[in-house]
Chain A
Amino acid sequence: AQKITQTQPGMFVQEKEAVTLDCTYDTSDPSYGLFWYKQPSSGEMIFLIYQGSYDQQNATEGRYSLNFQKARKSANLVISASQLGDSAMYFCAMSYNTDKLIFGTGTRLQVFP
């Protein structure tokens, strides 16, 4: 069965520092996709970044990068140069043999000055 695990309920980071949010997954499907979403306190889910299982290079989108280690089944999100506006819940999600996603339980990131 497919599973997403986020082991960090909460993380703190100082402004301008980098932070890594952990995500591990489990699937027997050779073709899958990994997504990260941000959910500010206002509630909307914002798509950040995508990594396909066959992608050779780690995905990057601005200050976001995805550290994809296929053999370890991990897909950690790295946020560089943290900003106060990065404070939010972050969810890792996986798509597998359909267009459905399964989500992890999330990590609450707090950025302090």
Chain B
Amino acid sequence: DVKVTQSSRYLVKRTGEKVFLECVQDMDHENMFWYRQDPGLGLRLIYFSYDVKMKEKGDIPEGYSVSREKKERFSLILESASTNQTSMYLCASSSAAGRDQPQHFGDGTRLSIL
């Protein structure tokens, strides 16, 4: 089974802090994604990566950056956390073999910025 592991289920940070969310997948997938999920808005793509050291902006990249130094790991960074970044963050990975490949998700991180 595909396993996508996010480093924390719950995280509480203060405004202005630099926050790191880590994601690791064990299926040698090329693609990795970071989403945020807010009630009534569904999932919105923040950043994605289709290869090591490659990244592309999604729909809401402002205030975030990412790092992919190894194929299995994709990190989301909140440069200076703000209260409007309180949300559920979901990491996903998928094979680049075709458009029919589903994304596999981690359990999510509920991040609160105080």
Contact = CB atoms under 8 A, between A and B. Distances in A.
Answer whether A and B are interacting partners.
Answer: yes
Interface of A: 4, 31-33, 35, 37, 42-47, 50, 52, 91, 93, 95, 99-106
Contacts of B58: 100
Interface stretch (B42-50, B67-75, B79-87): B42-50
Contacts of B88: 43
A60 B35 CA distance: 27
B41 interface: yes
B76 to A, nearest CB: 16
Given A33-B100, A45-B92, A52-B99, A91 B43 contact: yes
Contacts of B107: 42-44
A105 B41 contact: yes
Given A45-B105, A47-B104, A52-B100, A103 B31 contact: no
Most buried by B among A43, A91, A105: A43
Contacts of B48: 99-100
A49 to B, nearest CB: 9
B99 A103 contact: no
Task: Across the A-B interface, give the 4 residue pairs with the lowest CB-CB distance, nearest first.
Answer: A45-B105, A47-B102, A43-B108, A103-B43
29 contacts: A4-B42, A32-B99, A33-B99, A33-B100, A37-B105, A43-B9, A43-B88, A43-B107, A43-B108, A43-B110, A47-B104, A50-B100, A52-B99, A52-B100, A91-B43, A99-B31, A99-B48, A99-B94, A99-B96, A99-B99, A99-B101, A101-B43, A101-B45, A101-B103, A103-B42, A103-B43, A105-B40, A105-B41, A105-B42
A17 B104 CA distance: 29
A93 B103 CA distance: 11
Contacts of B106: 44
A100 B101 CA distance: 10
A2 B107 CA distance: 27
B91 to A, nearest CB: 10
Contacts of A102: 45
A47 B103 contact: yes
